[in-house]
Every structure is written in structure tokens, then in C-alpha cells.
Amino acid sequence: MAKERPPKGLKGWAQGRSLWILQFCTGCGAVELPPVMTSRYDMERFGITPMATPRQADLLLITGYLTVKTLKRVIRSYEQMGEPKYVIGFGSCTVNGGMYWDSYNTIKRLDLYLPVDLYIAGCMPRPEAIIEAFNRLIEGIKQGKFNGWIRYKENLRWYKRNQAMIMDIRKWSIDKKLAEEVWREVQEERRKIFEQATVPHVYEYAERISEVG
């Protein structure tokens, strides 16, 4: 079987000019979308429009931080989307955790769990930045540059392993057999991390404050 390639040329142009967004708004970046949608910035002039179901959508916007609980639903939605599909990560939370860098339940790097095609910097990005990202995405799709879903399929085991580290993927994956296998593989590592977190560790606040100064 020939290696799968993203559409380009005429097909890519057509694909890039009719991107439908999956409305899965997480975090605070969703607030930036209404101005992008409405008359001021009007994303529909690029053929981009919101869509309610994952099976009809091409574009998944991760608009901010993701807790583990939300990530499960995001992965389920992403796997349901038809190909070709693209992912845009909004803001610093998807890049390195942003202001949630030391939180126990938000992910720090989105591209460990989902193939991200484009990141938009900022906390949160302005609508101009979002429009710029859309333009680049459309241009890139036309040239066949973005191949997130192909990377996801080719490295599925790697993605599943990363996902299994933070969640019980047996309940949240379409491929049950692989999920079971990967889940067993990471058990030892998970157990060790959870065990180390239970080490009695008393913060002496007065001392810590004097350390910081």
C-alpha cells in the first residue's frame, strides 16, 4: 500500500477553503472565538464555520488548558473526526502548561497526546493571531504541509503510550486491543510515580519563605 499523503494542489485548495471547526471549547481561549466568528473578523470569508459534531468537522481547536478529564473527551472526539483533520493548539497552556505548569491535573504539552499542526502563542491569542493561524493553515493545506492525522496513525502506539501514562485509555480508545496492551505496559511506571507522590513531605512554610526571600 502506498504511503498516505495529505491532499494538495486543487484538492488541497478545496480542502483548505472549507474547514469546519469542531466546537469543543476548553479553557479560556473559547472567549476569543466569538469575535473571530462574528462580523468584525468574520472567519466565514475563509470558509471556516463552526460545526456541532466531530464526524462532520475538519479542524479541532484546543482553546486553552486541558485537564486529564477533558483530554479523554477530546481524544474520543478527535478519533471520531473524519480525515483529513487538523489540530490547532491555542496559547501557552497547550505548549508548556502555561500558568498551570505545576498543576496535578492539567497536561503540560499537548503534542504528546495529540498531533498538533499549529500552535498559536499568547495567553490568550488575540483574534488577529487566530486569523493569521487560519491563513497559514489554509496555505499549508494547499501545499500539503500538514499531516497530523497521518502522524497520529503511524505513531499510534507512541501516542497511546503517552495517553495511557495519564489516563485509563481502555475506556477511551476505539482500538481496545492496543489500549489493553499499552495500559499493561505503563502500569509499573505509573505505580512508581504515584508511590513517590505519597512520600511524606512536609513543607515548612516559614523556612521556604525565608529561602525565597
Partner 1 sequence: MMELEKEQAVVNLVKEAFEDAEADVQRARRVRIKIAPNRVFPLVAFLKANGFNHFVTITAVDWIKDGEIELIYHLWSYTRKVHVMVKTRIPRDGGKMPTLKPLFNQAETYERDVHEFFGVYFEGNEKLDRDFILEDWDGPPPMRKDFDTRRFAAEFYGQEDIESDLLKLKIQPYKGKLMQ
Binding track, positions 138-177, relative to partner 1; x by CB under 8 A: ---------------xxxxxx--xx--xxxx-----xx-x
User: Among residues 15 and 162, whose Cβ is nearest to partner 1?
Assistant: 162
**Number of Cα atoms under 13 Å in the Cβ half of residue 92:** 8
Q: What is the DSSP string of 157-179?
A: HHHHHHHHHHS-TTTT-S-HHHH
CA distances (Å), 195 to each of 41, 161, 191, in order? 50, 20, 6
Q: Any contact of residue 2 with partner 1 (CB under 8 A)? A: no
* CB contact set of 144 (below 8 Å; sequence gap of 6+): 5, 6, 7, 8, 9, 12
User: Site for partner 1 (CB under 8 A): which residue of 17, 55, 69, 184?
Assistant: 69
Question: Which amino acid would we find at residue 124?
Answer: M
CA-to-CA distance for 106 and 127, rounded, in angstroms? 25
Exposed, middle or buried: residue 169 (CB in 10 Å: 0-12, 13-18, 19+)? buried
User: Site for partner 1 (CB under 8 A): which residue of 112, 118, 123, 129?
Assistant: 112
Binding track, positions 18-57, relative to partner 1; x by CB under 8 A: ----------------------------------------
User: Among residues 54 and 127, whose Cβ is nearest to partner 1?
Assistant: 54
Q: Any contact of residue 73 with partner 1 (CB under 8 A)? A: no
- Interacting residue ranges for partner 1, rule: CB under 8 A: 68-69, 72, 79, 96-97, 101-109, 112, 153-158, 161-162, 165-168, 174-175, 177-178, 190-191, 193-194, 196-203
